[in-house]
Amino acid sequence: MNLAHINAIVFDLDGTLVDSQLNFAAICDDIGWPRGTPLLEKLATLGQTAEAARANEIIRMHELAGARAASWMPGAEACLQYLQQQNYPLAILTRNMREATTLMLNRLQIPISLVLTREDCAAKPDPEGLLLIAKQLEVPCQHMLYVGDYIFDLQVAANAGARSCLYLNENNQVFIKDADYSITHFSELARAF
């Protein structure tokens, strides 16, 4: 993994830096949507309806429960500390809501101050968030690495012109062909820098 051209690293939050044990199938079940329904995309089609308000509240309750249960992924905290010692600018771009994200950041003392949630920009895979981060960090997207665990993470990197790194788990091996790089443990990412 040659990352000599990378000058900033942006992370997904849930499923990447932290395990909040969010169960998307259970969220779909609670709302009454088919399992596998992309939640934010479906929500966007509902407009200002009672169904949208109900679905949004169910998603909110699941995200807050996940934030309260969240724990660091193995090696993630040490990796962030190492990257900061090396003076790499770091950021988080997440599809989570700000309320749950802030709770996770505070509970786990995640040492990243530049954090964009779905309230701050269009949700991944739309590149708006990465483009905003690139502007704030003053680092061109082609010199940024986006680390995540899902296809939307790889797509947002591609859509913004950044490199992507897939944090592998037992459920996401199918996406490896879409990633520029992949890791199974955060120590691999630290060693690459």
Identify whether 2 is part of a domain: no
User: Is the same domain home to 78 and 53?
Assistant: no
User: Is the same domain home to 109 and 170?
Assistant: yes
User: Is the same domain home to 146 and 173?
Assistant: yes
Identify whether 164 is part of a domain: yes
What is this structure's pTM? Answer: 0.94
Range of the domain at 32: 24-69
User: Is the same domain home to 37 and 130?
Assistant: no
Q: What is the pLDDT of residue 2?
A: 84
Contacts 24+ apart (CB under 8 A), 81-86: 81/111, 82/190, 82/193, 83/9, 83/190, 83/193, 84/111, 86/193
Number of folded domains in the chain?
Answer: 2
Name residues of the chain where pLDDT drops below 70: none
List pLDDT tens digits, range 67-102: 999 999 999 999 999 999 999 999 999 999 999 999
